[in-house]
Chain A
Amino acid sequence: MIRNKSLVSINDYNKEDYLAILDLAEQCEARPVSNIMQGKVVATLFFEPSTRTRLSFESAVNRLGGRIIGFSEAGTSSVTKGESLKDTIKTVSNYCDLIVMRHPIEGSARYASEVSGVPVINAGDGANQHPTQTLLDLYSIRKTQKTLDNLVVIMVGDLKYGRTVHSLLQAMSEFNTTFHFVSPDELKMPGEYKMHLENLGLKYYEHKDFTNILPEADIVYMTRVQKERFSDPMDYEKVKNVYVLRSNMLEQTKPNMKILHPLPRVNEITEDVDDNMKAYYFTQALNGVFTRQAIICSILGLDQK
């Protein structure tokens, strides 16, 4: 049961919950503007800035007829006066029906959900979780592939620190996915996630570069390799151009293949890819609005019909 429950981690939902959200997101896409949130107030508490995510949530609420209060960085809140997270959440939960929060400290959203009087949606807690991103990724995958089952997913870039790939791996592991991991040695998929796949009997393959695997993919999930992740800048220089997707690499790929990216993109997908039919990352961002509408409606128990 999703209703009245906080969404802090992708692990809070099971397979049925994912599918229920995706079905509802389809309804939201069919009818993106309504008034079913009339009289409802959502607080967007962004203790660190994330313009893209905040605007996506606020667009979702606005299109459903709800109202928004909140702040977009900790500097404009009472946090600068030394107020504890607990006090901020306890106070704000008196003013709204739902809290959407982003915070740099890992586990802050779980803690907030325990002290809040209203449900909390985690819009990112440090390197830990960002579950609405995962659900919009699932929505984008199902929408483009017409199914979530038995797909081949290639994950590229920073697989060590990237929370989006970790959560997506966990969610997609419910659907008999075959994974390919493409990353430098320094940024390989952590053992704990590989063990998770092994326990489920799922296949995965690790690669240091794209080699010839692109033609096998249904989904290519790109992430950015950040310079700051390397202790030796020379190591970064050696690999920085290896994990870049270019238009001429797409020639042999499947017709149904789509390229996803959580954005912001820097240079890991060249701009000549944007015009290719297989580039899906901007539509993926639009899907984020429908998916967040669906999540908010489910938690608040609002019926789209």
Chain B
Amino acid sequence: MRPPVRARRRTLLRAAAAGAAALAAGCSGGSRSVQVAVVWSTSELDRFREVVAGYPGRVQVVSAGNDIDAFLRARHLAGTSPDVAILPRPGLVTEYAQRGWLSPVRASTEYAVPAGLGELLTAEGQRYGVWVKAAHKSLVWHLPSMLPVQPADWDALVRRTQELAALAQRDGGPAPLAIGAADGWVLTDWFENVLADVAPESYNALARPDADWQGRPVRDALDRLAGLWSINGAFVGGGRRALLTQYEESVIQVVHTKRAVMLVGADFTADVADPFQRGPEAPVTFRFPGTQPGGGPLIVGGDAAVAFADARGGVELVEWLTRADSFQPWLRAGGYLSPNTNVTIGSYRDAVSQRLAEEMRTPRTLRFDLSDQLPGAFTGSDGVGIWRIMQGFFADVTDGVRASEAIRRATGLLAAAARSAGGGR
């Protein structure tokens, strides 16, 4: 009796193993495909899927959701890292590279990015990532009918804000500014634009480990911000209300309900503005104003592709992504800015994105999003790091705290956060 029983058990075990293998194969789709983890979701995810559909091999795109860092750390622990990941911050690329998680990557011959960007993705002289998507973060949006004359420089912006605020308080007109202060990155984008203008030379130093967060440049930038933010009536519903306003709601306040005139936002603001546009009037943009007319340095953000160590087919896919024509489907659909200067301006869909792409190619004026380069938790997320500190500063200056006091508090917190994240003096 025994042997048959055992044989049957073995058959069962085999069947179970085969079933599990089939299930695993089913998940990855037969022959092995290259797995890519991305931060995008919804329409951006669909666009990226269209992009990789043009890749000769099979590609599986996984959306890692809001916190791709946590996702990848957990996957690494479990030994199931994807082959390729698109990371939203260059800080993550160097961090992973130093931990030995990444494999060096190659770029195709058609890959060229503005000076200063490529270095952000290298560690110990090796290239560990390539830029695949860029964001233009130095824009102010408004409806043409609400603001006939665009402020040329920072002082003009302050004056215009004061006039509009006084008007709003007297006859209940629209507030001068909408701001999604509930999302910390909105405030860091403001800060970076001002900082790059008041101290273009010191900007990049703040991303380095020995950064001085209590020095003159940071204090000057915060002081300039405080001057504008503390104007009575500057924001829809006041400062406390602005801190509960998310970025997308602030866009609606400008393009739909017209309760505010201007909004500082990146090029992707168009994605929100489109569905909420009322009537034929589309919002237009001008450059974030600086000391000189024409604005200060341009702040850009971006997403970088990396290949994990012992990935299969990862390096090849990353190389393919750097070709000038890989992102054509997304360029045609709109809502995409390429970091690659070999992508012809003509391939952008409309005049606005063509102008933005041109601006990004102007030499020596680019600064990369500072908060995205900061180490560890300092880089910020909801309730954490520089996001939280800038929200505290915003709350202070809109609540009547003296600028000097608010700056003292903010720089103290910034320095402490930098230290505990392993940087700063």
Is this pair of chains taken from one and the same complex? no
Give B residues with C-beta under 8 Å from A.
none
Give A residues with C-beta under 8 Å from B.
none
